Chain A
């Protein structure tokens, strides 16, 4: 098992930017009113932020990064590592992180790279950036996690369209030998890669005319091979099978108990998944924050967005111990235990 700990990495701040444009699932007329109501109640998504065409994940992340670096009074030239975790890059080539390095005025000594993970992206991103910083050479770093998922969902696909929202988040980290250790348990099962995917447009299935054909897949589900598809039951059962053992193994590795955690922040997949996991772990609902209702499933950014919108006060004012658990596309999943120390969290930005 990929269980490990990182030392000397402090989370200094978290910021996020969402598109101004808000869509409500109460207005999602593709499905009958009763089904819309069931969707909002059980899947738990009421409104979602939807980016205008041409706005990219990096646009949102750049706005969030500028605000965060200003709030922290960080000199741009001190930032020597930038990781952009997303499945909605600016271009197929080159790497988005390189473009962002220039846009933010970060120095040429800055390492910049993309990680192409979705739902599990924040936990993975933290582990990668923390590992690279651990030697102490890089003192300050930015972890960008976000997605414009609405770009690839089809309005006539009820299994994806009403679920996803767009956001770009930034986490600022610095090397600090006094920081609490971070602990990770990361896992992968690529046999389930078809559970969440876009079939065409990559090298395996090069985009062709037929990629654009919209076909009926099932009741209320129409999409092309360039749209995101999601096997809800498969993903649901994957989460219920893997997440709890993953968390328990991490707790056992660190010798800590769930009771010691101030909060458990789950990837905001849907309310049914989170509530079922909460019941399986016998967690009090006050310990399990949400951002799902107002922002939908925001892919890899859902963990930091939830920290920002639902835990802002305690994270700004106190020291907290958090267990983060993220799971999904890949299939890829992982959990992390982090100790926070009065994080800088600017207000949510709207672009």
Chain B
């Protein structure tokens, strides 16, 4: 698992997210329209791909793609 793969997985889920727009250090809420449905799509993708659960607090406390990726990395290795 790499951050680039993670970004590609996100890009695959969101039709209006053009490849290359989402950067690891960028704010994921600004890269595309962020709303509760998109939050569920992201949580579903992370659960099915990495078997990791992201909570509402995890998302609230994260700003960048890197922040979420780190959470997943920590939980996968446990």
A residues whose Cβ falls under 8 Å from a Cβ of B: 34-35, 38-39, 42-43, 158-159, 219, 231-234, 236-237, 240-241, 270, 272-273, 275-276, 279-280
Task: Check B36 for interface membership: any CB of A closer than 8 A.
Answer: yes
Residues of B within 8 A of A (CB): 33, 35-41, 43-44, 47-48, 53-56, 59
A35 lies within 8 A of B43 (CB): no
Known: A35-B35, A39-B37, A159-B36. A237 touches B53 (CB 8 A): yes
Q: Residue on A with the closest CB to B13?
A: A42
Chain A residue with Cβ nearest B57: A233
The answer to whether A38 and B37 touch (CB under 8 A), given A236-B43, A240-B47, A276-B47, is yes
The answer to whether B41 touches A272, judged by C-beta atoms less than 8 angstroms apart, is yes
- Min Cβ gap A5→B in Å is 31
CB contacts (< 8 Å) of B39 on chain A: these are 232-233
Residues of the B chain whose Cβ atoms lie less than 8 Å from the Cβ of A232: 36, 39-40
B residues in contact with A280, CB < 8 Å? 47-48
* A42 and B47 in contact, given A233-B55, A237-B55, A240-B53 (Cβ under 8 angstroms): no
Q: Using Cβ atoms and an 8 Å threshold, which residues of chain A touch B37?
A: 35, 38-39, 42-43
A34: chain B residues within 8 A (beta carbon): 33
Which of chain B's residues has its CB closest to A31's CB?
A: B35
Q: Known contacts A35-B35, A240-B47, A280-B48: does B53 contact A42 (CB below 8 Å)?
A: no
Q: List 8 A-B contacts (CB under 8 A).
A: A35-B35, A159-B36, A233-B36, A233-B43, A236-B44, A273-B44, A276-B48, A279-B48
- Which residues of chain B are within 8 angstroms of A276 by Cβ–Cβ distance? 44, 47-48
